[in-house]
A and B are shown apart, each in its own frame.
Chain A
C-alpha cells in the first residue's frame, strides 16, 4: 500500500516535472535569437571567412555564458540576453562561396527557410551588395561589419547598417598620414594605387583618388587587376618603370601574397608601401610573406592591448580556438555581431521593426566595444559615424601601431624595407 502510494507520488512528481520541463524548454525555444551569417567559407577568401566565423563564435560564447571578467563589453556579464528572459543566441552560418550570386541565394535561404531574425555579412563588398538587397526585400535587418565600398549605403536602404570605417574614412587617414610625411620632408610627389577590380577595390581606389585630389596629392598611376590572377609580374614591372613614391594596395589575400613574392623576385620596393586591410590583415598573409613585407603599413581598429585587458582576454579566447591572434577583419566581424545582438536585446523582441528601431537608437561607448572605434552610432544612411582606425606597420612577426603618434606603440620605420 505504502509502496503504491510512493509509486503514485513518484509518478505524479515525474509528470509534474515533465510538464514543467516541457513548459520551460518551450519558453526558451521560442526565445532563441537566430542570426544568419553569410561569409566566404570556401573560395579564394575562405581564410578570411574562417577567421570571421571563429570570431563570431567567440562572441556567441561571450554573450550566451556569463563573463564578468570582460567588464563593460556589451552583453558579456550575464548569460544570454537579459531583456529576452536570458534567451540564447544561435548563429546559422552560410557560405557565400566568394560569388555575389551565392551570397544572394544563401541570404534568401537563411531568411525564408532558417527564419533568422537578422543577417550579418558578407566580407567582400561585392557580395554584401547582393546579399543585403535580399534582406531589404524581406524587411530583415542586415548589418555589415566589414564591407567598406562607398555605394553600399547610397542605395536608400532602410534595413542596412554597417559598423566599419568606410572608404572615405580610410582615404582620409591615408591622406593625413601622407601629408604629414610630406611636411616632414619625405618625398610624396607621386602615388600609385593598385586595386583588385571588384566592388571593394574599385570603390576604395575611387575614394582615395578623390581624397588625394582634394588634398593636393598626385596619383600618378592606377593599376586595376583581377584578384583571381595567376601572375602579377607585368603589374610590378609597370610600377618599377614609374617608380612612385608610395604605393597603396587594395587587395585580397591570395593576390597580396603574390605581389609581395613578385616584388621581391623582381627586386623592387617603393619608399612607402600601404596595404589596405583585407589581404594585408589576413593572419595567413603575415605568416606566409611577413618576412618579405617588412615595413608595410596597414589600417586597423584592432589592438590586443595590455595583458589582462578585455581585448587581450578576447584575443586569448580567439587564439585558443584558432591558433592565431585576432586580426582587424575578424575583429570587425566580432564587433558587428555584438552590435546587432545588443540592438536585439534592447529591442526586447525579435520583431524586425523593433530591432530596426533599436539599431537606429544604437549609441555604444568605447568602453562597451572591443574594437578601437570612438563608439557605434548610425547616421540616417546606416554608416557608423563613430568608426575610426589607426595605422599599423609590419615590424618583425607582428603588426604594431605606429600612427597617429598618440596611439603608437612603436616608432614608424621608414622607408619600406621589404626583405
Chain B
C-alpha cells in the first residue's frame, strides 16, 4: 500500500514536470504580450508528429527529434507571429482569441488532412525502458521528460531574469513604448518570445511523444491542462508554471488513486478555483 502510494507520488511528480514543460511556452507568451495562444496545444501536437516522422524516416529517438522539432516549431512560431499575431494584436481582445483559435483549427485539420485521423505511437523501447528501484517503477522516457522539463524551466527563468536579452524582453512586456525609447525593438523581442515559446513546445512535444499516443486531436486534450497550469501558477510566471504543474500532477495522481479516477478532475478544479478565489493572480503571479 505505502509502496503504491510512493509510486503514485513519483508518477505524479514526473507527470507534473511534463505539464510544467508544455505550459511554460504559454505563460511566456502571455507574460510578454498579454496574448493567450489558443494554438498552444496544437503546437505541441505538431511537435509530436515531428518526433514520429523523425523515428519513421531516420529511426531517431528524442535526442534527434528534440532539436529538429524545436527548430521547426520555433520557425512556425515566428511565422505565426509575423503573419497573424502581430496584426490581430492591434485589434480588440476578441480578434486575438479568434485569431489564435483559428490557427489552432488550421493546424489540427491540416494534420487530419496530412496524417489522417488514426492514432500513432512511438515504439515503447525508444528510450531506455523501465527502471525498477526497490519495486518502484520509473519509466526512462518519463524520467527524461521530467528532468529536462525542470532543467529547461529553470534555464528559461534564468535567461529572462539574468541576461540582457531577458531584460530587454521583460522591458517590452512592461512598457513597450518606453522600451522603444530606450532603443529596444518591441517587434523583434516579441518575435523572439514567440520563437522561444514555440521552440519549447517543440521540445515538449518530442518528449511527450515517447510515452503518449499521437493524433491530430491530442493538442486539444493537453491544452486544457496547460491553461489550468498557467493560471494556477500565475499568468506570465515561469517558475509559477513549474510549481503549478508539479502540484497538479501530484494532486491528480493522488486523488485518482485514493478517491477514484472520475473524481480527480473535481479535486483538481476545486483546488484551482479555491486558489484563484484567494489569489486571483495565481500562486506566483504579480498583481
Instruction: List chain A positions with a Cβ less than 8 A from chain B.
Output: 41-44, 46-47, 49-50, 197, 223-226, 228-235, 237-238, 240-241, 253-254, 257-258, 261, 264-267, 282-285, 287-289, 291-292, 419
Cα distance, A364 to B7, chains bound together (Å): 54
Residues from chain B with Cβ under 8 Å of A224 in the complex: 260-262
Interface-centre pick from A46, A228, A265 (highest chain B CB count, 10 A): A265
- Inter-chain contacts of B261 with A (CB < 8 A): 223-226, 229, 232, 234-235
Task: Give 4 A-B pairs besides A230-B212, A258-B213 with Cβ atoms closer than 8 angstroms.
Answer: A42-B217, A44-B215, A50-B116, A231-B256
Contacts of B117 in A (CB 8 A): 41-42, 46-47, 49-50
Is residue B42 within 8 Å, beta carbon to beta carbon, of the partner chain?
A: no
Q: Is the CB of B8 within 8 A of A284?
A: no
Q: Residue B121 at the A interface, CB < 8 A? A: yes
Q: Which residues from chain A contact B8 at a C-beta distance below 8 Å? A: 233-234, 237
Which listed residue, A226, A266, A288, touches B7 by the CB 8 Å rule? A266
CA–CA, A42 and B225, complex, Å:
20
Instruction: Report the Cα distance A237→B257, complex, angstroms.
Output: 7
- Least CB distance from A125 to B in Å reads 18
Q: Which one of B116, B121, B142, B211 has the highest number of Cβ atoms from chain A below 10 Å of its Cβ?
A: B121
Nearest residue (CB) in A for B214 is A288
* Min C-beta distance of B106 to chain A, whole Å: 13
Q: Which of B112, B120, B124 has the most CB of A within 10 A?
A: B124
Tell me if B83 is interfacial: C-beta within 8 Å of chain A.
no
The minimal Cβ–Cβ distance linking B282 to chain A, given in whole angstroms, is 21
CB under 8 Å from chain A, chain B span 1-31: 1, 4, 7-8, 11-12, 15
**Chain A contact residues: helix, strand, loop or mixed:** helix
Pairs A–B under 8 Å by Cβ, sample size 14: A47-B116, A47-B118, A49-B117, A226-B265, A230-B222, A233-B12, A234-B261, A237-B4, A254-B119, A254-B215, A266-B137, A267-B130, A284-B118, A288-B213
What is the minimal beta-carbon distance from B109 to any residue of chain A, in angstroms? 8
B281 within 8 A of A: no
Q: Are A42 and B262 in contact (CB under 8 A)?
A: no
Identify B216's interface contact among A46, A228, A265, A287, CB under 8 A: A46
Cα A283 to Cα B116 in complex, Å, equals: 13
Q: Are A283 and B118 in contact (CB under 8 A)?
A: yes
Contacts known (A232-B261, A241-B1, A257-B213); A46 close to B112, Cβ less than 8 A: yes
CB distance from B21 to the nearest CB of A (A): 13
Point out the residue from B11, B119, B142, B222 that lies within 8 Å of A253, measured CB to CB: B119
Interface residues of B (CB under 8 A from A): 1, 4, 7-8, 11-12, 15, 109, 112, 116-121, 123-124, 130, 132, 137, 139, 142, 211-213, 215-218, 221-222, 225, 252-257, 260-262, 264-265
In Å, the complex CA distance between A44 and B224 comes to 14
Choose from B4, B213, B225 the contact partner of A254 (Cβ within 8 Å).
B213
B147, chain A: closest CB distance, angstroms: 16
Q: Is B124's CB under 8 angstroms from A241's CB?
A: no
Q: Which of B116, B130, B213: most chain A CB closer than 10 A? A: B213
Give every chain B residue within 8 A of A197 (Cβ-Cβ).
262
Contacts of B221 in A (CB 8 A): 44, 228, 230, 254
Question: B120–A284 contact, CB under 8 A?
Answer: yes
Residues in chain A near residue B139, CB distance under 8 A = 265
- What are the residues of chain B within 8 A of A232 when measuring CB–CB? 261
Query: Cβ of B132: which chain A residues have Cβ within 8 Å of it?
Result: 267
Q: Which residues of B contact A289 (CB under 8 A)?
A: 121
Q: How far is the CA of A288 from the CA of B126 in the complex (A)?
A: 13
* Given A50-B117, A267-B130, A233:B213 Cβ within 8 A: no
Q: In the assembly, what is the distance between CA of A43 and CA of B119, in Å?
A: 12
Cβ of A419: which chain B residues have Cβ within 8 Å of it?
A: 124
Residues of the B chain whose Cβ atoms lie less than 8 Å from the Cβ of A229:
261
Question: Once bound together, how far apart are the Cα atoms of A228 and B252, in whole Å?
Answer: 14
Q: Which residues of A contact B262 (CB under 8 A)?
A: 197, 224-226
Residue of A nearest to B1 (CB): A241
What A residues does B215 contact at CB under 8 A?
Answer: 44, 46-47, 254
In the bound complex, how far is the Cα of B262 from the Cα of A77, in angstroms? 51
